[in-house]
Structure 1
Amino acid sequence: MKALIRADASVDIGMGHRVRCQALAQALVELGWTCCFVVDRRYQAFAAANDYFIDSEAECLALASNADLMILDHYGYLADDITALFQAQPNLLVLDDMNDRGDFSAKWVLNPINQTYSANVEHALIGSQYALLRPEFLARSTQFNHASNQLLITLGGTDPLALTLPILQALNARGFLMTDIQVLLGSSAKNADAVKRFCQDHAIALEQGLSDVTPLMGRAKMAISAAGSTLYELACLGVPTIFAQVADNQTRSLQQHVPLGWCDSMRFDTLSENERRAQTEALVKTVVAKWQDDRWLRTARDTALSLVDGRGAARVANCVTSS
């Protein structure tokens, strides 16, 4: 059985699409599938050598008709494009976040937040139980020590708005203990050299490009994070978090998770550079207040742990295989 996955990654797109699709691909492989990514040639620097590289979406349609399953995680596809892909490959799984592309046809749609889709979708896999996490998250937070005074800062695989350095500078200006900070940079993070110099000058622990981030997340008392797929990773490991929203597609997940009480958020992607500086100060002020609120931290951790169990990829793979 052959599955094709249409997803791209880049500094501007981020790594989230690729990462969550890799988690699903691994679960499918364990059930006997062969999986291959279909990637726009412009983004081959963020792809693997054995990916299919295409120059137009028409090539993807041709490839889809010769597969047993097509997985689509691509915001460039609107409703008509998705329906055309479904006509080429009726075993179509669409990964979605915003539900803002109109009614489309698909065999399955996967959305880890609660959304309602039309009857043109045969099976809706909805809710955080379907969040696609890598297998290492199955270890769960009970195996980690959250008692340490460690603030994890992770702004995604690429840190598209280069927020890590100004957040560190604002924390330092407020007198936050620099040795209590752990920075995690993606392998393609913007402004990485400047972040590394600042961390070296202030004795801040830093890791970049880790394949397994669970030990760092598992030690964190609290986190500052971008709100893509990392939201579900941090929830799974029970880490109270202040999210910096860096993309529009993160809006609805934050709208559903912030009211639950385990996290807070501030939006950056719609702001000018000057406005981002003020927003950074506001974010750090919130972090410092929450850091000292032991009651909130305990409640937030328990709530987060109840939301995501790390088995979403296996659930989706089983649904697809058994249908």
Structure 2
Amino acid sequence: MRIIFRTDASSEIGGGHLMRCLTLAGEAARRGHSIHFIVNVDGLTNRVLAEGHSLTELRPEAHDTDSSPPHADWLTAPWQSDAALTAKVAAKIGADWLVWDHYGLDARWVEAVRSAVPNIRVLALDDLDDRPLGSDIVLDPAHLETEGRKFPAPVMLHGSTYALLRPEFSAFRKTSLARRDGRVRKVMVTPGMMDAVGLAPLALEALRGTGWQVEVIMGSKAQSVDRVRALVAGNPDWTLTLDATDMASRMSGADLCIGAGGGTSWERCCLGLPTVAVAVANNQLSGMKILANNKAAVTLHISEVAAGALPQAVADVCRQIEQMSQRAAALCDGKGAERVFSYVETVNLRTI
């Protein structure tokens, strides 16, 4: 199959949408499918190219922001121009599927693409449920299967069994779980690629005086990177790693994590890494609810972290660290991307 992925990344949007698309694209490529990305200019295009995928950049255009959907201001060009470019690329390569992950787009965009490429099938990645998506399949790992959606699709793939993790996480799962012995020696801080809210500096301030080794992992373009460098320079047991490509290995070597919510929550669950999970954006709240309800993490909002709640949350994790590891591991086995594409490949498309 020939598959187009449409997503963006920026300091405002973060890198999570691109990364989960790359995970799904990687699974498709391993199965022999052809992949092409359409991303905004400067949208971490180096990551797309580094993984061997071709891409088309969407050039910014001055435009008035629509009042809907709620995240329409995330678009760098009018949705009509966006749809026209996507349709042009889809027609040129003969795309069979369009996979999109963007809060600023909605069913109008899908319909515009389909008007030019009527036979294309569409899969949307979405965890907001705040607008019609107009897609054949909606993939939403952040909502439980028993929860309904305001804007359902003909086929719903939802729940953490479909969480999109790269294959190295399931490969490291056995070793990581065997390491969990209840002791804390090394703490990992993962604030997200961009850290627009400054979680990493807040975490480091909370970890002062603990005597633990601490590794902060973030993107080189993160907004808090200079502050983190300064804090790390003052402690010989702290390190900063930028643009890591071996997260599964690093997570499996950590004993506790302070990290942003979102897709990386499922990576930590797969490896049984006890965590204080911090919601740094409202779209992460549904996934955090799953973690909290299953006692698979201690959850906080970034406002609570800023108010000084982090030390107590870390202590709460330490009191139940082995049990938390087991509960987290039960939520996700790392094979979600395999399940998604197994479904895409075998589904009778006439039933969609």
2:156 is the counterpart of 1:121: no
2:283 is the counterpart of 1:256: no
Distance 1:44 1:23 in 2: 15
Distance 1:46 1:161 in 2: 24
Q: Is the 8 A contact 2:25 2:35 kept in 1?
A: yes
Which position in structure 2 is the counterpart of 1:237? Answer: 271
Which position in structure 1 is the counterpart of 2:88? Answer: 62
Which position in structure 2 is the counterpart of 1:167? Answer: 203
Shift of 1:255: 1.7
Shift of 1:205: 2.8
Which position in structure 1 is the counterpart of 2:246? Answer: 212
Distance 1:47 1:254 in 2: 27
Structure 1: give runs of 5+ residues left out of the alignment: none
Q: How does 1:23-42 map to 2 (within 5 A)?
A: 23-41=23-41
2:321 is the counterpart of 1:297: yes
Q: How does 1:308-319 map to 2 (within 5 A)?
A: 308-319=332-343
Shift of 1:2: 1.2
Shift of 1:3: 0.6
Which position in structure 2 is the counterpart of 1:101? Answer: 131
Q: Is the 8 A contact 1:117 1:124 kept in 2?
A: no
Q: For the aligned residues, what is the CA RMSD? A: 2.2
Of residues 182, 192, 196, the one that matches 2:225 is 192
SS at match of 1:306: helix
Percent of aligned pairs with the same amino acid: 30
Distance 2:254 2:159 in 1: 25
Shift of 1:198: 1.5
SS at match of 1:106: coil
Shift of 1:190: 1.8
Structure 2: give runs of 5+ residues left out of the alignment: 60-80, 348-352
TM-score, with normalisation over the residues of structure 2? 0.81
**Paired positions, count:** 309
Which position in structure 2 is the counterpart of 1:201? Answer: 234
1:85/1:124 Cα in 2 relative to 1: closer, same or farther (>3 Å)?
farther
Which position in structure 1 is the counterpart of 2:105? Answer: 77
Distance 1:120 1:137 in 2: 30
Runs of 4+ more than 6 Å apart:
none
2:285 is the counterpart of 1:285: no
1:318/1:118 Cα in 2 relative to 1: closer, same or farther (>3 Å)?
farther
Q: How does 1:34-53 map to 2 (within 5 A)?
A: 34-41=34-41, 43=43, 48=48, 50-53=54-57
Shift of 1:254: 1.0
Deviates more, 1:54-63 or 1:205-214: 54-63
Which position in structure 2 is the counterpart of 1:131? Answer: 163
TM-score, with normalisation over the residues of structure 1? 0.88
1:264/1:84 Cα in 2 relative to 1: closer, same or farther (>3 Å)?
farther
Which position in structure 2 is the counterpart of 1:306? Answer: 330
2:254 is the counterpart of 1:228: no
Given residue 76 of structure 1, which amino acid in structure 2 is its aligned partner? G
